[in-house]
Amino acid sequence: MSVLELTPGAVTLEQLADVYWNERAVTLDLACRPAVEEAAKRIDAAAAGDVAVYGVNTGFGKLASLKIAPEDTATLQRNLILSHCCGVGAAVPRRMARLMMTLKLLSFGRGASGVRWDYVELLQDMLAKGVTPVIPAQGSVGASGDLAPLSHMTAVVIGEGEAEYAGEILPGAEALAKAGLTPIQLGPKEGLAFINGTQFSTAFALAGLFEAWQSAQNALVISAMSTDAIMGSTAPLQPEIHQLRGQRGQIEAAAAMRKILAGSEIRESHRDDDSRVQDPYCIRCQPQVTGAAMDVIRQAAITLEVEANAATDNPLVLTEAGLIVSGGNFHAEPVGFAADMIALAVSEIGAIAQRRIALMVDPTLSHDLPPFLTPEPGLNSGLMIAEVTTAALMSENKHLANPCVTDSTPTSANQEDHVSMAAHGARRLIQMVTNLNRILGVELLCAAQGIEFRAPLTTSDPLQSVLMRLRQDVATLGADRYMAPDLEAAADLVSAGALTEACGTSLPELGA
């Protein structure tokens, strides 16, 4: 796979998604190198001077008033990294760690951090050769930067910590050596440049963004299948309804569902003389709910694309102004808000999907489908408890969707007295999407059963292709059987994007 060249300040969501999904190696556009090197020169000059410059020749945080001698600045930076390696918990997934490294490269590439170009090259080489720092997932409050996780990332750069290489977890120096790389001793401000920043929170938020959007696309396909399964009306998908409201996501969701359901024999069979006047909201209001969630995800995407292109360490070298200024770009409040928005969207997509599942298993609401979608109800329980599982997952996601960004707490002897909590706000998103995909997987199983009960009538060609893809992995449910593998296989199809591929119909794009 080719190396992806990125331009700091102009990176797109599509490029970042490529890095995330495909674990692409990256290089920075060399046009940014002069600015990076000029900022490094400014830091060297400040370190040799008599004027106190935060983080260059002073202590950190509450210790900023303590001046550091020029001969101790390298030790200062090394001590900073080692003392801040206080992360706990499971290691972040490799693709997340690689996305963090990529985001840090982009931040350096803005030419305001004051690090040597050597570090840019080392991070690029680590990505290219597969040296991935082991980074514990817990320990950041989202300001003053993602200190603990970024310190674990940086530790490997200086030959400390641990890294994954060729499938093994090794001491950092050993992993670098096996890859033919050499650690670099930190100079003035360089340790601080590495760990002041939002790259951990932003990487997790971006991962949640990409995964949530894929789930939203799956929800459009699967909910269309549920509509046919219960012989729901497509009249609420009429384009004029959605144009009159004007909400982009709603318009696109309705249009996608119209295409997916076009040509369904099941739909045509009850277009006339149906005694039902209206379907429940979980069928009738699908574009309004899933479409609104898509709009919220897109709003978060705007924030995260900007953040991915930002310089977020402290202090920043303002080369044109001739200044090195201490500010607060490390505060991850924008990322925290974006993560909360994505969480709300994920929770709502799952909430309405769960109601469709409840509709399909309930014989009083499913328009003549057998109870719990089993051919012999009573003797068999069918999908009864699968629906209960989705209720549990839906409820868990509702709890997880509570805002994190409002939960500040003072740290670091009250120097850092308001923090964003963006790190765990973003980190919860993957678990929430996993829960959502399992809900959608059960909805898929229910909808498939429902459509098969409508035989000899058939669904639309796109949904027939989705049904066939499901049946490659999960057989039709007849007599009761051990269900857990079926649920997991269906969720895997959702998370892998296999259903949207099988559908073959164009779906709304995140950045379109």
367: left (phi over 0), alpha (psi -120 to 50) or beta: left
Please say whether the beta carbons of 345 and 352 come within 8 A. Answer: no
Please say whether the beta carbons of 476 and 189 come within 8 A. Answer: no
Spatial distance between the Cα atoms of 489 and 369, rounded to a whole number of angstroms: 24
Q: Could you tell me the CA-to-CA distances from 382 to 259, 456, 488 in Å, in that order? A: 31, 22, 16
Spatial distance between the Cα atoms of 296 and 175, rounded to a whole number of angstroms: 41
On the CB side of 497, CA atoms within 13 Å amount to 10
Q: 54 catalytic, yes or no?
A: yes
Helix (H) or strand (E) holding 323: strand 323-325
371: left (phi over 0), alpha (psi -120 to 50) or beta: beta
The neighbour count for residue 453, using CB atoms within 10 Å, is: 16
Please say whether the beta carbons of 253 and 287 come within 8 A. Answer: yes
Spatial distance between the Cα atoms of 252 and 291, rounded to a whole number of angstroms: 7
Spatial distance between the Cα atoms of 379 and 396, rounded to a whole number of angstroms: 31
For 376, list phi and psi in degrees, rounded to 5. Answer: -130, 75
| Cα 428 → chain centroid | 9
Question: Among 239, 222, 247, 271, which residue's Cα sits nearest to residue 463?
Answer: 222
Spatial distance between the Cα atoms of 250 and 268, rounded to a whole number of angstroms: 24
Which one is catalytic: 20, 54, 119, 165? 54
Please say whether the beta carbons of 150 and 4 come within 8 A. Answer: no
Angle at 171 between CA 166 and CA 172, to 5 degrees: 85
Helices 248-261 and 461-473 meet at what angle, rounded to 10?
80
What is the distance in angstroms between the CA of the first residue and the CA of the last residue of the chain? 25
For 503, list phi and psi in degrees, rounded to 5. Answer: -60, -40
For 67, list phi and psi in degrees, rounded to 5. Answer: -80, 140
Question: Among 138, 166, 167, which residue's Cα sits nearest to residue 152?
Answer: 138
Q: What is the 3-state secondary structure (H, E, C) of 376-427?
A: CECCECCCHHHHHHHHHHHHHHHHHCCCCCCCCCCECCCCECCCCCHHHHHH
Tokens 């109601």, residue located? 355
On the CB side of 510, CA atoms within 13 Å amount to 25
Coil, strand or helix at 131:
coil
Which residues are known catalytic residues?
A: 54
